């Protein structure tokens, strides 16, 4: 069964800590994404990667960085965690989409991060 795996379902971290959220996919997908989900705001894109070592900022990249050293792994890094980064974080992957192709995502099960 193909899947996207996020390393932790729940994390509690202290303000100022450096936090790593890991995501691994086994589908040989080119694209990988990090979203955060907050009530009433839906899913907002943090960062996106379309190839190894390639990254692109999403709508809310401030306070985050990413790393993609291997095709299957995409890491989200909170350099200095703050309480306003308490959220649900969702990783997704997809094939490189053409104009008329499907281009849908496969999601991981999410990481609920609490920063205290």
Partner 1 sequence: AQKITQTQPGMFVQEKEAVTLDCTYDTSDQSYGLFWYKQPSSGEMIFLIYQGSYDEQNATEGRYSLNFQKARKSANLVISASQLGDSAMYFCAMRGLNTGFQKLVFGTGTRLLVSP
The DSSP code for 7 is S
Site map (CB under 8 A) of partner 1, residues 77-106, x = contact: -----------x-x-x-x-xx-xx-xxxxx
Contact 110, 9 (CB under 8 A): yes
* Residue closer to partner 1 (CB basis): 61 or 110: 110
> Can you give the C-alpha Rg of the chain in angstroms?
14
**112 binding partner 1? (CB under 8 A):** yes
3-state DSSP assignment of residue 1: coil
**1 binding partner 1? (CB under 8 A):** no
**58 binding partner 1? (CB under 8 A):** yes
Q: Is 13 exposed, middle or buried (0-12, 13-18, 19+ CB in 10 A)?
A: middle
**2 binding partner 1? (CB under 8 A):** no
Q: How far is the CB of 67 from partner 1 (least distance, A)?
A: 19
């Amino acid at each position: 069964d193909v899947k996207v795996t996020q390393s932790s379902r729940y994390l509690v971290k202290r303000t100022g800590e450096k936090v790593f959220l890991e995501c691994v996919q086994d589908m040989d997908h080119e694209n990988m994404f990090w979203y955060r989900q907050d009530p009433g705001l839906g899913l907002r894109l943090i960062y996106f990667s379309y190839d190894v070592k390639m990254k692109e900022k999403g709508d809310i990249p401030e306070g985050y960085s990413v790393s993609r050293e291997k095709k299957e792994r995409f890491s989200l890094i909170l350099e200095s965690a703050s309480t306003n980064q308490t959220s649900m974080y969702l990783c997704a992957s997809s094939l490189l989409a053409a104009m008329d192709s499907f281009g849908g995502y496969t999601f991981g099960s999410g990481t609920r991060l609490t920063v205290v």
